[in-house]
Amino acid sequence: MFGQERYVLSRIEAPVQLDGVSNEPAWAGIEPLPVVQHAPMFGNPPKERTEILIAYDDAYLYVAGRLFMHDPTGVQSTSKKRDFMGGNSDWFGVILDTFNDKENAVGFFTTPAGLRLDVTVFNDAQGEEPVNVSWNTFWDVETVVNSDGWFTEIRIPFSSLRFQEVDGQIIMGLIAWRWIAASSEQIIFPAIPNKWGMWSAWKPSQAGEISLKGIRSRRPLYVVPYVLGGYEYLNELNDDETAYERSEEPAFEVGLDVKYGLTDNLTVDMTLNTDFAQVEADDQQVNLTRFSLFFPEKRLFFQERSSNFDFQLGGSQNLFYSRRIGIHDDQPVRILGGARIVGRVGPWDVGLMNMQTARTEEVVSENFGVLRLRRRVINPYTYVGGIATSRIGVDGQYNVTYGLDGIFRLYGDDYLKVHWAQCFDDSAKNEPFSLTPTRMSVNWERRTLEGFAYDLGYSRMGDDFEPGIGFLERDDVTRIGNRVLYGWVPGESSPLLRHDVFLQGFWVQRNSDKKTESAEIGPGWEFTTKSSSFGKIEAKMYYEDLTDTLEFSDDVHVPVGQYRFYGLKGFFHSPMGHTVYAMINVDAGSFYDGWRVTTNIMPTWSLSSDLELSGFYEYNRVSFSKRHQELTAHIARLRATWMLSIATSFSAFIQYNSAIDAVITNVRFRYNPREGNDLYVVYDEGFNANRYREDLVAPVTSNRTLLVKYSYTFQL
C-alpha cells in the first residue's frame, strides 16, 4: 500500500472504544504510516518511535497516535484550553484536504492534555498566518499519558466533513504530524521538506492522497438556539459636550443558528438575530501609518471554509472583508439575520452569503451579498474564478462589485496570479469601459525559501474603485514591488534550520498626477534555528509624498511635503518549545522630518496545563524636534487563562492604551462540555486612565457590561 501514489484506507468492522489506547481488535493489521523527520533534519529517521494509524467505518474517520518517548518526563502539556495553539506543548494531529483541491484543508490536533484544536488552512499555507483557529466543528478525542509516552485516538464524524464522491470513490489529501516540544522535533507523513518556511508541514499541495469507498456524509440538521441576558451602561458626552450622560439598558436577546448539509459537499448556515457577545475584544493598536488599521475576523458564523470567499488584493487587502457586516465605527450593529452556503457543486467551489443588518442612529438598514465561485483547470494547482458583492441600503444607496481572478501553477514552485475587479456605486460615474472603477494586478511568485525565489507584482487601482464590503489601504494608485531572496537549508552540523537573504521593496505612483506617493526598499536576513527560535533583521529606505496632513494626535502631525527617511527593523522569537518564551520587535530610525522608536515584547509563561500568563508591552516614541512636537504612546496587555478542565476555562484580558487614556478589561468564563453546548459569562469594563485630560472631568468608567449567554445544539 505504501510507496504508491495513493493510499487506500482500511475499513474497520469491529468497534473502536475511544479511550486513547489503540489496542482494540479493530486496529489489528492496520499498518502505521511511514513517517520521517520534518525538522530539525528533514528525511532523517524519527528520534522517538511514532506510530500513526488511520482507518474508517460507515460513520467516522479514526486516527490513532502511539507517541512513545524514551524519557516520558519530557512530555510537555501546557494548556487545556479549546483552540490553544502554542509550540511549548507536544502535539499530534492530521490535516485533511477533503476536496483534494491542493489549496484548502481542515486540521484536527490534540495534546497530552486532550484539548481540541480544529483549524482551516487556506491559500496552500502561504503567507504570515494562513490558518483560521476560530473555526470549530464536531469531533472527539481521548488521550493517555503513561510511562511509555502518550497515546491518543481521534474520531471525526463524516458529517463534520465536506467531500466529493467520484465514481464511488472519495479522494482526500492527508498530512499527519507530531511535534515534540522538548527537542523541537517534528515527525511527518508524507515526507514534506521544510523549504517553504514555518508552515511547510501544513501545505495541502504536498499532502499524500488517501482513498475511501462506500461512505456518504450524513446530513444532520443542527439547530442552535441561544438566550442572552445581562446589563450594560455607557457614559457619553452630550451633544453640547457640556456633561457626561449615563445611559443604562438591561439586555435580553434570543436568537437562532441553523446548520444543514444540503449535499455531501454543500452546507447552509442560517442565523436569526445574531449575537457575538462571547467574542474576545480586539487587540489595542497605535497607528503610526497613513492607513486604516486591520483587525482579524473572530466571529464564529463567518468562519467555516471562509477561504471560499477570499479575493485577495495583496497583504490584508481583500475584496470581501466580513467585518464590514455588523460593525460600524468599531461598534456592533445588530444583524437581523442571514444565510451562507459553502462547499462544492460539481467542479466549482462555492461561497454564497446574504445578511441583513438593522438600522442605527448612524447607518440605515443594509443588505450585504457575496457570491464567490472558483474551479480547478489545466492542472491540480491552477484555479480560475469570480466574485460578486453588493451592499444596498434601504434608502437606495448601493455599492456593487465584481471580480475575476486566476492562480496558475506554471512549473515547480512558480505561480502566476492575475485579477480584475470593478466597483459601481450610487455616488460614482460608473463607467465600465474605464479604468476609473477598476483594479487589476498580476503577480509572479516562486514559493520556496531554498535557493533563488521571488515575489514580483504589478497592480493598478482607479479612483472610483471602492468595494463596499472590502478592505483597501490606498486608492487611485499604481504599485510595483515585493521581494527577491536566496535561501539555504544547511546541513546537520549547523544550528540553523534554514535562513535567507532578501531585498524587499515597492514603488507606488499616484494615477492623478503621475508622482511617486510612497516607496521603500532594503535588504534583510531571516533565520530559523533547529531549537525552534527564529528572527529577522532588515534595513529600510522610505520615501513619502504627503498631499494631506498626516495626523497622529491632536498635537502631533506631519505637514504636506516630500520626505526621505531610513530605519532598521528587527524581530526575534525565543525557542517556542520552552514553557517560557518571548517575542521581541524593534523598529527605529528617522521618520519623516523627525525620528521614531517602536519596540514591543510579548512574554508567555505556561505555569502548568491549568494556568497560562502572557503579556504585551509596546513603547512608541515619535519626535519632530524642529516643529517642537513629540508623541509617546504605550500599549500594555495582560492575559491570564485558568483552565479548570478541558470543558471549563476562565480568562481575563486587560489592556491599557495611553493614546486614548483607557484601560479595557474583558473577563470570560466558558463552560463547554461538548461541541455546540456553551455557557459564557462575559464582563467588560472601560476605565478612563486620565480623567483630567480635558476641561470636563471624565467619569471613572466609560462603560460596563455583564452578559450571560447560553447556547445548546440540537441534532435532528
Per-residue pLDDT averaged across 627-632, rounded? 95
Give 3's pLDDT tier (boundaries 50, 70, 90). very low
Q: What residues have CB less than 8 Å from 296, skipping those under 6 apart?
A: none
Q: Does residue 4 have a pLDDT over 50?
A: no
Per-residue pLDDT averaged across 505-521, rounded? 96
Which residue, 353, 357, 351, is CA-closest to 374?
351
In the numeric block, the cell 475576523 is attached to: 297
User: Is 434 inside a domain boundary?
Assistant: yes
Q: Look at the chain and report how many structural domains it folds into.
A: 3
**What pLDDT, on the 0 to 100 scale, is given for residue 128?**
81
Which residue, 140, 142, 152, is CA-closest to 68?
152
- Residue 199 contacts residue 125 (beta carbons within 8 Å): yes
- Using one digit for the tens of pLDDT, what is the confidence trace for 675-690? 889 999 999 999 998 8
Grid cell, residue 314, equals: 495583496
Q: What is the mean pLDDT of the chain?
A: 92
Q: Does residue 624 have a pLDDT over 70?
A: yes
Higher pLDDT among residues 280 and 442, named by residue? 442
- Using one digit for the tens of pLDDT, what is the confidence trace for 385-425? 999 999 999 999 999 999 999 999 998 899 999 999 999 99
User: Is 243 inside a domain boundary?
Assistant: no
By CB neighbour count within 10 A (0-12 exposed, 13-18 middle, 19+ buried), where does 346 fall?
Answer: exposed
Q: What is the number of alpha carbons within 13 Å of residue 235 lying toward its C-beta?
A: 16
Which residue, 407, 344, 413, is CA-closest to 172?
344
- Using one digit for the tens of pLDDT, what is the confidence trace for 63-89? 999 999 999 999 999 999 888 888 999
What's 142's domain CATH number? 2.60.40.1190
User: Is 246 inside a domain boundary?
Assistant: no
Say yes or no: 553 and 506 in one domain.
yes
Higher pLDDT among residues 168 and 371, named by residue? 371
What's the Cα-to-Cα distance from 26 to each of 139, 621, 658, rounded to whole Å? 20, 64, 60
At 37 the three-state DSSP class reads strand
**What pLDDT, on the 0 to 100 scale, is given for residue 582?**
96
Share of the chain above pLDDT 90, in %: 71
User: Is 57 inside a domain boundary?
Assistant: yes
| Strand ranges (E), 113-200 | 117-121, 131-132, 140-146, 149-157, 165-166, 169-180, 185-189
Instruction: State how far the Cα of 550 lies from the Cα of 631, in Å rounded to an integer.
Output: 14
- Residue 94 contacts residue 174 (beta carbons within 8 Å): yes
Of 614, 647, 680, which closes a domain?
A: 647
Which residue, 11, 54, 14, 84, is CA-closest to 611?
84
- Residue 499 contacts residue 528 (beta carbons within 8 Å): yes
- Residue 574 contacts residue 585 (beta carbons within 8 Å): no
Which residue, 285, 283, 251, 257, is CA-closest to 270?
257
- Using one digit for the tens of pLDDT, what is the confidence trace for 91-146? 999 999 999 989 999 999 999 999 999 999 988 998 888 898 888 889 999 999 99
User: Is 676 inside a domain boundary?
Assistant: no
Say yes or no: 172 and 321 in one domain.
no
Radius of gyration of the chain (CA): 26
User: What residue type is 158 in one-letter code?
Assistant: F
**Would you give the DSSP letter of residue 602?**
E
- Using one digit for the tens of pLDDT, what is the confidence trace for 298-329? 887 887 677 789 899 988 899 999 999 998 88
Say yes or no: 208 and 73 in one domain.
yes
- Using one digit for the tens of pLDDT, what is the confidence trace for 590-600? 999 999 999 99
Which residue, 332, 311, 333, is CA-closest to 320?
311
Share of the chain above pLDDT 70, in %: 99
At 204 the three-state DSSP class reads helix
In the numeric block, the cell 502539556 is attached to: 77
Give 5's pLDDT tier (boundaries 50, 70, 90). low
Say yes or no: 553 and 404 in one domain.
no
Say yes or no: 442 and 499 in one domain.
no
Grid cell, residue 315, equals: 497583504
Higher pLDDT among residues 32 and 266, named by residue? 32
Higher pLDDT among residues 710 and 168, named by residue? 710
**Would you give the DSSP letter of residue 64?**
E
Instruction: State how far the Cα of 358 lies from the Cα of 697, in Å rounded to an integer.
Output: 34
User: Is 454 inside a domain boundary?
Assistant: yes
Instruction: State how far the Cα of 375 lies from the Cα of 372, in Å rounded to an integer.
Output: 11
User: Is 250 inside a domain boundary?
Assistant: no
User: Is 694 inside a domain boundary?
Assistant: no
Say yes or no: 302 and 347 in one domain.
yes
Say yes or no: 362 and 434 in one domain.
yes
By CB neighbour count within 10 A (0-12 exposed, 13-18 middle, 19+ buried), where does 151 fall?
Answer: buried
At 123 the three-state DSSP class reads helix
The most distant pair of C-alpha atoms in the chain lies apart, rounded to whole Å, by 80
Q: What residues have CB less than 8 Å from 699, skipping those under 6 apart?
A: 235, 244, 246, 688, 691
At 323 the three-state DSSP class reads helix
**What pLDDT, on the 0 to 100 scale, is given for residue 485?**
97
Say yes or no: 515 and 628 in one domain.
yes
Which residue, 88, 127, 82, is CA-closest to 108?
82
Say yes or no: 53 and 172 in one domain.
yes
Say yes or no: 35 and 135 in one domain.
yes
**What pLDDT, on the 0 to 100 scale, is given for residue 286?**
86
Say yes or no: 305 and 399 in one domain.
yes
Per-residue pLDDT averaged across 502-509, rounded? 97
In the numeric block, the cell 494626535 is attached to: 553
**What pLDDT, on the 0 to 100 scale, is given for residue 67?**
97
pTM of whole model > 0.85?
yes
Instruction: State how far the Cα of 635 lies from the Cα of 621, in Å rounded to an integer.
Output: 12
Instruction: State how far the Cα of 438 lies from the Cα of 137, in Å rounded to an integer.
Output: 38
Q: Does residue 358 have a pLDDT over 50?
A: yes
Say yes or no: 562 and 464 in one domain.
no
Grid cell, residue 111, equals: 495534546
**What pLDDT, on the 0 to 100 scale, is given for residue 180?**
96
Of 618, 647, 676, which closes a domain?
A: 647
- For residue 302, give its domain range: 296-472
Of 647, 662, 681, which closes a domain?
A: 647
**Would you give the DSSP letter of residue 83?**
T
Phi, psi of 86 (to 5 degrees): -135, 145
Task: Tell whether omega for the bond before 45 is within 30 degrees of 0, i.e. cis.
Answer: no
